[in-house]
Amino acid sequence: MRIAVIGTGLMGTSVALAARRRGEDVAGWDPDPDVLAGAGGRDALEPADSLERALEGAELVVVAAPIGQLPQTVAAVLAATTDATVTDVGSTKASVVRAANGSPRFVGGHPICGSEARGPDHASAALFEGATWFLTPVAHTEPARHRTVHAFATALGATPVAIDADAHDRLVAMTSHVPHVLANIVANQTGASRIEGHEPLAHAGGSLRDMTRIAGANPRIWVDIYLDNADAIRVALQEHRRRIEQVEAALDQGDAGFLARWIGEASQSRRRMLEREYPDPGTLQRVRVHVPDRPGVLAGITQALGAERINIEDFELHHVSPERGGTLTLLVAGEAEAQRAAALLESQGYSVVVSAVIDAD
């Protein structure tokens, strides 16, 4: 199958690499010649000198333009083709579905994956493996077009899920866009504060670092996302405001019962989220290790645990400073395995703390 990828940043080039890995013929175009050259340099696609040339002979067109240009680019692709199936990989769907104007050849799409990096140099053919790939067919969509895009997403390792475009935008407002809003709010509030001469950011704990990991994400991407999905984000923020007011009322009234139930509900919600990634998230243990800043430390720890057949489910490194080193957090399934890991690392001189990822009820 001949595929055209329009927009060759990280997502578009990742699509191209994954398709090329499967032996597909891939052409590509991007309005930025440097970005297009970067994708060509990855041997991801055959660069075209115009949108029209990229579309020649294409059976499937994947539009990976930025959100601000996505609707008009999809409309232009549909106007320039007569038989190609057209899809996109944008993170909002209602506006692009409207731009397709009921075309039976268009199937909106959004793979739930990505990276904090950008550009074709950071693209990966493995980006879509295990990801949910939302598809937004409408009443006018030809079933064969839906099947084509469904099969393509599956072939790239993703799990396609059909959803209404407006419902999609409400869902991602809650799961992605509002978390970014809140991370920015917390980071900005903390950064603007002074408490009796002390700067809170200079004394940030793990909670603040975890909460603000996504703060300050690329404004060239996120401004367009916020504006394109403004209605759904606003509704979700209104619900957040209502829930914050409930917490404020509980604090005013000293309502320990409400606060306990509220924390318990959050624990159960988080458990349900983690169940998608881990067979039994209730067994997960954090093994926090203070590590010095020197070459080979991480390799030594992982090799030592691997030699004892202790499986690391996930890990994260927080660097404090060259002088103080940092904290390596390992996720290990099972309290006994976590204690084995801690004992091994303590015997090598490391300071270790073990705790449950999800507190027992």
Question: CB-based burial of residue 146 (10 Å sphere; 0-12 exposed, 13-18 middle, 19+ buried)?
Answer: buried
- pLDDT of the residue at 81: 96
Task: Dump pLDDT digits (tens) for 85-127.
Answer: 999 999 999 999 999 999 999 999 999 997 667 899 999 999 9
- pLDDT of the residue at 220: 87
Q: What is the mean pLDDT of residues 297-320?
A: 92
Q: What are phi and psi of 316, to 5 degrees?
A: -150, 140
- pLDDT of the residue at 246: 98
Pairing state of beta strands 60-63 and 2-6?
parallel
- pLDDT of the residue at 126: 94
Task: Dump pLDDT digits (tens) for 189-230.
Answer: 999 999 999 999 888 887 888 899 889 988 989 999 999 999
Tell me, what amino acid is at 38? Answer: G
The C-alpha atoms of residue 30 and residue 216 are separated, in whole angstroms, by 26
The C-alpha atoms of residue 106 and residue 135 are separated, in whole angstroms, by 10
Task: Dump pLDDT digits (tens) for 326-359.
Answer: 899 999 999 999 999 999 999 999 999 999 998 7
Q: Report the 10 Å Cβ neighbour count for 255.
A: 15
Structural domains in the chain, sorted by start:
2-162 (3.40.50.720), 168-254 (1.10.3660.10), 281-356 (3.30.70.260)
Q: Which residue has the higher pLDDT, 322 or 158?
A: 158
Residues in a beta bridge with 199: none
Q: Is the pLDDT of residue 278 over 90?
A: no
**pTM summary value:** 0.86
Question: Binning pLDDT at 50, 70 and 90, where does residue 243 land?
Answer: very high
Q: What percent of the chain has pLDDT over 90?
A: 85
Provide long-range contacts, Cβ within 8 A and 24+ apart, for 70-76: 70/95, 70/96, 70/99, 71/95, 71/96, 71/98, 71/99, 72/99, 73/6, 73/7, 74/99, 74/100, 74/106, 75/99, 75/100, 75/101, 76/51
For every residue of 149-197, which 3-state class applies, written as one string?
HHHHHHHCCCEEEECCHHHHHHHHHHHHHHHHHHHHHHHHHHHCCCECC
Distance separating the N- and C-terminal Cα atoms of the chain = 53
Q: Dig out the tokens for 339 from the structure.
A: 């204690």
The residue written with tokens 């720890």 in the block is: 301
Task: Dump pLDDT digits (tens) for 44-64.
Answer: 999 999 999 999 999 999 999
Q: What are phi and psi of 250, to 5 degrees?
A: -65, -40
Question: Binning pLDDT at 50, 70 and 90, where does residue 275 land?
Answer: confident
> If we measure between CA atoms, which residue out of 333, 336, 334, 325 comes closest to residue 289?
325
